[in-house]
Structure 1
Amino acid sequence: MKTGIPGRLLVATQFALIGLILVNWQPAYSLSWPGMVALAAGAALGIWTLFFNRIGNFNIRPEPKPGSHLITNGPYRTVRHPMYTAVLLLCAAPALSVGTLYQAACWLLLLAVLWKKSSVEEDLLRQQYPDYAAYAATAGRFLPRMNLSRKK
């Protein structure tokens, strides 16, 4: 399937933005409390995600690997793209600590790129896994869904 924007371009843009966020950041000297929380949360979520979606099953590009299987447990139970959330949290650490407009703008661009990348990925996942649409209705893209309706 043609995705409009090639997966490799999305990945290259993602890594370029991560590099721009990290330029001139010295974590040992400039980590604020919000930055430390974001860093710890991102690292923990990333490790937890790798525990459930092991190397060989996932692809850094948005195209699913042949022979891969849909994961819906662990962090995937509530979030469809927990590794993207982990990347966003990890990259928020320098942006929150240094607090330059430049880093904030790069972080927002990274969010937009990961949103587009996840949209491309989800189109392909719907084609590969018949159950994906039902799963997507129960789990949020980057954050857990909040059910604000009250049951009586």
Structure 2
Amino acid sequence: MFRFKELASLPPQTRRNVFRRVGYMLFFDSLIALLLFLSAGSADWPFAWVYVVLMALIQLCGAFFMPLEVLAERGSRKENTEAWDRTLTRLLLATFLSLYLVAGLDFRWRWTAGYGLAWHLVGVLLFLLGCGLEIWAMSVNRFFSTDVRMQFDRGHTVCSSGPYQYVRHPGYVGMILYYSVTPLLLGSLWALIPAGLVVILFVIRTALEDRTLRARLPGYQEYSAQVPYRLLPGIW
């Protein structure tokens, strides 16, 4: 059965954090679906269904393949999150949700003229690529958290394997990619506006997180010398 033995071996609080994270993911996926279809005023939106189903399947894959300690960390209540990250997280959440709201209104009022199926499929492929990159980063980095914080309570160390060999923040690369192409997948060019804001906020978060890790995480300065680029090899 689904990881029951592995779950049973965890301490009670860790197990609760895993379930809390899974519950949050289910809630957030449901919220996205509600926003899309309520703002669209219709459930007859094929590519919104494609998006919702893909999100559910990806979350399921993550639940199967992601280390449980990563799920537990992402589901835990954090007390030492960097103050600036609390503000950025709120802004990111509002911007994420506005993306789906704008896409739904665009579908309802037909602000974007339709384009060919091929462009939707390009959006699907790039969306899956971004999600795959994020899951890869989570699977190798046991300190992949929802918040920017020093996890010295968990023995925080630098991760330099997997995609971290190429850029220092591959998870953000994946997130930027799939949020950037979500409007293309859904068929809403107007949703590119909030998607662009999401990208800007992630770039800001990357810069601030990188500065924090350089200052506070032992070994990160040396890792930065070995892997000089934060998001884009050869550029930044």
Range of TM-score over shorter length = 0.7 to 0.9
| Percent identical | 24
Q: Which residue of 2 aligns with 1:65?
A: 151
8 Å CA contact retained: 2:214, 2:220 = yes
Residue 187 (structure 2) pairs with residue 113 (structure 1) = no
Shift of 1:145: 3.0
The 5-angstrom pairing of residues 1-150 of structure 1 reads: 6-23=84-101, 24=104, 32-54=120-142, 57-66=143-152, 67-97=155-185, 98-101=187-190, 103-137=191-225, 138-145=227-234
What are the ranges of 5 or more consecutive residues in structure 1 without an aligned counterpart?
147-152
SS of the equivalent of 1:35 reads helix
Which deviates the most, 33-42 or 133-142?
Answer: 133-142
> What CA distance in whole angstroms lies between the structure 2 residues aligned with 1:36 and 1:143?
22
Shift of 1:143: 2.3
How many residues are aligned here? 137
What are the ranges of 5 or more consecutive residues in structure 2 without an aligned counterpart?
1-81, 108-116
CA deviations on 1:117-144 (whole Å, 9 max, x unpaired) are 1111112111223432332242421223
- What letter matches 1:64 in structure 2? M
Which deviates the most, 69-78 or 132-141?
Answer: 132-141
User: Cα RMSD over matched residues?
Assistant: 2.4
Q: Which structure has greater helix proportion?
A: 2
> What CA distance in whole angstroms lies between the structure 2 residues aligned with 1:63 and 1:115?
17
- What letter matches 2:126 in structure 1? A
> What CA distance in whole angstroms lies between the structure 2 residues aligned with 1:34 and 1:44?
15
8 Å CA contact retained: 2:157, 2:218 = no
8 Å CA contact retained: 1:58, 1:68 = no
> What CA distance in whole angstroms lies between the structure 2 residues aligned with 1:8 and 1:44?
26
Shift of 1:60: 1.7
TM superposition outliers: structure 1 runs of 4+ over 6 Å: none
- What letter matches 1:126 in structure 2? R
8 Å CA contact retained: 2:138, 2:144 = no
TM, length-normalised to structure 1: 0.77
